[in-house]
A = this chain, B = another copy of it.
Amino acid sequence: MARVVVEVMLKSEILDPQGEAVANALPRLGVKGVNSVRIGKRIELDFDDSTVDIESKAGRIADELLANPVIENFTLKVEDEDSGA
C-alpha cells in the first residue's frame, strides 16, 4: 500500500487566527521564544498497490477537494509502506 501525504498550509500573506490563538496561549504555558504559529492540514491518502500514477491522482484530489487555491498552498510527499518516510 503506497501513501501520499498532502500538506495544506495557508499562504504566508493570509492571516492565521487559529495560529495566533495558540501563540497567545503560550505565555500562560510558560513557553517563551516562539515567533509564530501556523496551523494547516495533513492528509494521508492510502492507495492500492496496483494503482499507478498516484502522485498525479493525489495532486488532483488536493487541487479539487483538499485545498482552496485562493488562500492555501499544498505539497505532496509519496511515502512507501516499508520506508514510512
Q: Which residue numbers of A lie inside 8 Å of B, CB to CB?
A: 1, 7-9, 19, 22, 25-26, 29, 31-48, 50-51, 54, 57, 60-61, 64-66
Closest to A57 in B: B31
* Residues of B contacting A39 in the complex (Cβ-Cβ under 8 angstroms): 41-44
Q: Which listed residue (B9, B25, B54) contacts A33, Cβ 8 A?
A: B54
State how many copies of this chain the complex holds: 2
Whether A44 lies near B1 (C-beta < 8 A) is no
Whether A50 lies near B31 (C-beta < 8 A) is no
Whether B42 lies near A42 (C-beta < 8 A) is yes
Whether A43 lies near B22 (C-beta < 8 A) is yes
Whether B66 lies near A29 (C-beta < 8 A) is no
Whether A33 lies near B57 (C-beta < 8 A) is yes
Min CB–CB distance A77 → chain B (angstroms): 11
Enumerate 17 A-B pairs (CB-CB under 8 Å) in ascending A order: A8-B42, A19-B43, A25-B65, A29-B60, A29-B65, A31-B60, A31-B61, A33-B47, A33-B50, A33-B51, A33-B57, A34-B51, A34-B57, A37-B45, A37-B46, A40-B41, A40-B43
